[in-house]
Amino acid sequence: MHRWIHRLTVAAAAVAVLGMSAASGCGDPPPEGADPTTHPQYVVQAYVSRLNKGDREGAAELMTDIGRRNGASPLDTGRIEGFGLTAPRPIPNHHNGRTVFKAVTERITFTRVGETNLTLNNGPAQWDFIIVQEHEGDPWLIDDQGTG
């Protein structure tokens, strides 16, 4: 009986550690040279990286047509530091007036520094993204943001 309780305790501790690491990190980065649109987390990581480099056009390539039409992101100004990313959570696949193949939401937490705007001030912040696959086999792209 004692050995069985010990195994349960070790298993529970392992699950707790895995859960904390999944919620607090920014996920595994995409492999070198990988297409960032193959996974929702990779899309968000690449989007933030491109904005931090001042590559707004490159960031826009990671958005759906509807996402681009929604206008510039308040994340475009300033710099995102201390970036953390939650695991993608499935949401209903009807978004922005259409049905898509798959949709997920992801929340990033970060510290914003530099130029401010009306939506985001400097300091700790969080920002939600909706990432979709419009059709089966399509790339994952950002469809909406600032939804948190």
Q: Is the pLDDT of residue 136 over 90?
A: yes
The token pair at 139 is: 């790339």
Please determine, for residue 6, whether its predicted confidence score (pLDDT) is greater than 80: no
Q: What does the pLDDT read at residue 7?
A: 39
Is the pLDDT score of 40 beyond 80? Answer: yes
Q: Are 120 and 90 in contact (CB under 8 A)?
A: no
Question: What percent of the chain stands above pLDDT 70?
Answer: 70
Is the confidence at residue 86, as pLDDT, over 80? yes
- Please tell me the predicted confidence (pLDDT) of residue 90: 92
What's the confidence (pLDDT) of residue 15?
A: 34
Q: How close are the terminal C-alpha atoms of the chain, in Å?
A: 47
Res 19: pLDDT: 36
pLDDT, tens only, 113-124? 876 655 667 778
Residues 6+ apart with CB under 8 A from 128: 105, 106, 107, 108, 145, 146, 147, 148
C-alpha dist (Å) from residue 101 to 26, 75, 140 = 25, 27, 10
**How far apart are alpha carbons 145 and 99 in whole angstroms?**
18
pLDDT of residue 37: 93
Alpha-carbon gap, residue 134 to 61, rounded angstroms: 15
DSSP string, 62-101: TB-HHHHHT---GGGSSEEEEEEEPPPEE--SEETTEE-S
Q: Please say if the pLDDT value at position 11 is more than 60.
A: no
Predicted local distance difference test score (pLDDT) of residue 46: 92
pLDDT beyond 90 at 140: yes
CA–CA distance from 14 to each of 10, 20, 60, 134 (Å)?
6, 10, 39, 36
Query: What pLDDT, on the 0 to 100 scale, is given for residue 99?
Result: 93
Q: Rounded to an integer, what distance in angstroms lies between the CA atom of residue 89 and that of residue 86?
A: 8
